[in-house]
Amino acid sequence: MYRSATAISRSFLPRAAYSLSFGSLSSPTLSVSLVRTLSVSASLSTTQHDPSSTPTPSNKTSTMSRWKPMCLYYTHGMCNMMEDPAHLEKFNHSCSEEFRVDVAELNNKRSQEFDFFLVLDLEGKVEILEFPVVLVDAKTLNVVDLFHRFVRPSQMSERRINEYIEGKYGKLGVDRVWHDTAIPFEEVLQNFEDWLTQHRLWGKEQGGHLDRAAFVTCGNWDVKTKIPQQCTVTKMKLPSYFMEWINLKDVYLNFYNRRATGMMTMMRELQLPLLGSHHLGIDDAKNITRVLQRMLADGALIQITARRHSPENVEYLLENRIR
């Protein structure tokens, strides 16, 4: 039974920590850092902007909080330790603090075509292994909710799956939680559609298209290539809500007049520290969300950059784009 994981985030957990998320907790040593929540104060143009001209948030307007790894069982609605003070002390169960924005300082923010952005960052080269989406309010820049599912491959043997997951997630310490929570791709999309419906962003009666929302990705691969591939493997029709998307790298190029090859480059140029573990999908989606928040605060217009007319025919809407 699907359960919504409202306003939650996720970060790297050492293997020892994750292996104890369901049972009794020992005291593994976690690396804890102080992280800033987004609070932007800048004087910027509304066309092309140099991110290096933006001062970093001051101590006066930034709140400091102790970073804690996210309980990934909670992101799946499966955490059974919510009454355990020790567990709650060690693991994060909310992203509200991490993504909080000081609206009073968003002087350069402009109105957007969409009311909400769905930040998507898939993981899995052979088949999709992880499907995380962060829901961002385009007006307030706040994170409204988060959807996160680990995905079980449908065309791989158990031995190959075990090898694949050990190689991908074992080094991040989340292989056990993957095995405990992963479900087939078709179930993930059913859960996701329930989640979209709950937020009134999608409905079959609307023709299956998103309402007032758009996907935001770091590149075209997620929606252009991987989703259709997975649908083919799963023998299911490509959902109509995957027909257009926003490649944040293209918007970044046109707004800042700088070519960023990936998330890490954008974060470095915007002076945003990496939180969590790179290539853990849920953490990458969070970090891309932080880039999106910063760009919205700087005054960027976040618009559709690619539209699919057929499975093979994709139109790119910005002439100046990352190729």
The yes-or-no answer on residue 123 being catalytic is yes
The span from the CA of 107 to the CA of 92, in Å, is 31
Q: How far is CA 298 from CA 102, 270, 293, 294, in A?
A: 13, 11, 9, 6
Question: How many CB atoms sit inside 10 A of residue 88's CB?
Answer: 15
Residues 98, 123, 130, 244: which is the catalytic one?
123
3-class SS at 307? strand
Tell me the pairing of strands 34-36 and 64-66. Answer: antiparallel
Of 113, 163, 166, 279, which one is the catalytic site residue? 279
Taking the C-alpha atoms of residue 70 and residue 97, their distance in angstroms, rounded to an integer, is 13
Q: Which of 137, 117, 314 is nearest to 214 (CA)?
A: 117
Task: List, as one string, the DSSP characters of 277-297.
Answer: -TT-HHHHHHHHHHHHHHHHH
Query: By three-state DSSP, how is residue 48 classified?
Result: coil
What residue type is 146 in one-letter code? L
DSSP character string of 139-187: TT--EEEEEEEEEE-SSS-HHHHHHHHHHHHGGGT-HHHHHHH-EEHHH
Q: Active-site positions?
A: 123, 279
